[in-house]
Amino acid sequence: MSVPDLGWAPPAAPSGGGRAGDEANYYFLGGAPTAAPTREDARAFDVTAIRADFPILSETVNGKPLIWFDNAATTQKPQSVIDRLVHFYQHENSNIHRAAHELAARATDAYEDARGATRKFLGAEADENIIFVRGATEAINLVAYAWGGKNLGHGDEIVITHLEHHANIVPWQLIAQKTGAVIKVAPVDDAGNLLLAELEDLVGPRTKLVAATQVSNALGTVTPAKQIVEIAHRYGARVLIDGAQSVPHLAVNLQELGADFFVFSGHKIYGPTGIGVLYGSEDALAETPPWQGGGNMIADVTLQRAVFQGPPNKFEAGTGNIADAVGLGEALRYVERIGLDRIAEYEHALLEYATPRLAAIPGVTLVGTADHKASVLSFVLDGHDPVEVGKALNADGIAVRAGHHCAQPILRRLGLEQTVRPSFAFYNTFDEIDVFIDAVRRLAERGGPKA
């Protein structure tokens, strides 16, 4: 059922939409550009107009303009997403997939429209492949407990990488304990590059699943996700790709990538918290039983048995996070209006600008210098605990993450327990990087207590 136009419409793209051409993004499949983009190259990207779309960027912290360099933890929200949420609660709020009244139709249309927007954004085959969950963590747990609980047995192997967030480690440890499966870990080199040949050596006839991040949240390493999928599929293994850190920065086409499962969180890509996505291929979802039981996911129930609907409803028991799914749909449209290729190019220029300037500060050691990176610029400063560095930067209005970033194995592989992690988004500026570099330099020059 379609609904009448209630007056809400998205704003025009602040920077004129995406660039023509369908060449692969250089982070994803196409290799690095021949020359790093410069500050001058990025002038065509209208970051001033984009920043005007984000009201929180006008905030001050400790009397200084807010510099939000904690984008790998969460991103800020454009006014169009905020407006879409308000519009939903003012004009569409209802439960979905039930009732014959007008608001139920409006809410259902808005929710399913968001699913369609997500399918389009990811290049998935059909809306039925898109399952709304609370976030990437819940999506991975759904696959681990539902798919893994059915398809893993004693001695079966799960291959992960040393780069993983805890959310792509702990669920597999838990299901391995239940099923008797064995976890193997693909290594990285000292720069944080995934060693693909070593991963390939780990995959074999006993491998049932390969679970790998596409972009490391701690180092920013971009992994060769398509090659990982191809290696796993040679042995008939399923593949889960954690896209929590890749979706905001890289062009992803799931039909080209070929992953069986793909997950991400809405709040990492300018959408609300509490909403995320699990993509599953038709074959993979057919192998996956329901994870939770309740309303919405059933076709018929008696006191003796239940008949379940097909995907996606099969995996969306109960009342979901309707409003925030709608907000996620608008966030993805907002990103599309700007163009992920243009976003990736601009963010790459930011990273290329910041990296040598930070590395030149005496006492700074960069952590994670892989050949292909996105967004993240982790470091440590001699004589300073990372948390103290984070507090000092906060005094200048600069928000960074300091700690282990829910990625202790990769930091320990590099001999560390914590780092300072600035991470960039397309609303950040070169001037903000200059302020950040100056703040770190002042801190390095005045010294501090030993960690």
CA-based nearest residue to 242, from 148, 138, 331: 138
Q: State mean pLDDT over 117-129.
A: 98
User: pLDDT value at position 39?
Assistant: 58
How far apart (Å, rounded) are the C-alpha atoms in residues 391 and 112?
Answer: 43
What is the model's pLDDT at position 449?
Answer: 55
* Residue 100 CA: distances (Å) to CA of 97, 111, 294, 316: 9, 16, 21, 21
Res 447: pLDDT? 74
> Would you give the DSSP letter of residue 376?
B
Q: Is the pLDDT of residue 352 over 80?
A: yes
Query: What separation in angstroms does the CA of 443 have from each of 365, 386, 439?
Result: 14, 12, 6
The single-letter code of the amino acid at 327 is G
pLDDT in tens, 358-367: 999 999 999 9
Residues designated catalytic: 406
Comparing CA positions, the residue from 249, 213, 279, 212 lying closest to residue 75 is: 249
The mean predicted confidence, pLDDT, of the chain is: 92
Helices (H) and strands (E) in the chain, counts: 15, 17
> Which amino acid belongs to residue 254?
L
Share of the chain above pLDDT 70, in %: 89
Report pLDDT for 225. Answer: 98
50, 64, 52, 36: which is closest to 438 by C-alpha?
Answer: 64
Residue 330's Cβ-count burial label (10 Å; 0-12, 13-18, 19+) is buried
* Residue 252 near residue 230, CB atoms below 8 Å: no
Strands 398-399 and 67-68: parallel
pLDDT of residue 251: 96
Euclidean distance between CA atoms 390 and 398, whole angstroms: 8
Per-residue pLDDT tens over the stretch 164-211: 999 999 999 999 999 999 999 999 999 999 999 999 999 999 999 999
CATH code reported for the domain at 41-69+339-445: 3.90.1150.10
Contact (Cβ atoms closer than 8 angstroms) between residue 396 and residue 69: no
203 contacts: CB under 8 Å, gap ≥ 6: 159, 210, 231, 232, 234, 235, 237
Number of neighbouring beta carbons within 10 Å of residue 49: 14
For the beta carbon of residue 109, count every other beta carbon within 10 angstroms: 16
Cis peptide, bond prior to residue 409, ω within 30 of zero: no
Q: In what order do the strands lie in the sheet with 364-367?
A: 364-367, 378-381, 419-421, 401-403
CA Rg, the chain, in Å? 22
Query: Domain 80-336 class?
Result: alpha beta
Confidence at residue 98, expressed as pLDDT on a 0 to 100 scale: 84
- Asked if 41 contacts 19 with a C-beta cutoff of 8 angstroms, the reply is no
Q: How many CA atoms lie within 13 A of 126 on its CB side?
A: 8
Find out whether 37 and 347 touch, Cβ atoms under 8 Å. Answer: no
Domain residue ranges in the chain: 41-69+339-445, 80-336
- The pLDDT score that the predictor gives to residue 146 is 99
Residue 239 has pLDDT above 80, yes or no: yes
pLDDT at site 315: 98
pLDDT at 9: 52
When pLDDT is averaged across residues 433-446 and rounded to a whole number, the result is 97
Q: What token pair was written down for 39?
A: 């500050």
Residue 420: the pLDDT is 99
Q: Looking at residue 126, what DSSP letter applies?
A: -
Q: Which residues lie closer than 8 Å to 155 by C-beta, 6 or more apart?
A: 180, 181, 182, 206
d(CA 312, CA 130) in angstroms, rounded, equals 6
**pLDDT confidence tier of residue 429, bands split at 50, 70 and 90:** very high
Residue 350 above 70 pLDDT? yes
Confidence of residue 1 (pLDDT cuts 50, 70, 90): very low
Could you tell me the pLDDT band of residue 99, with boundaries at 50, 70 and 90? Answer: confident
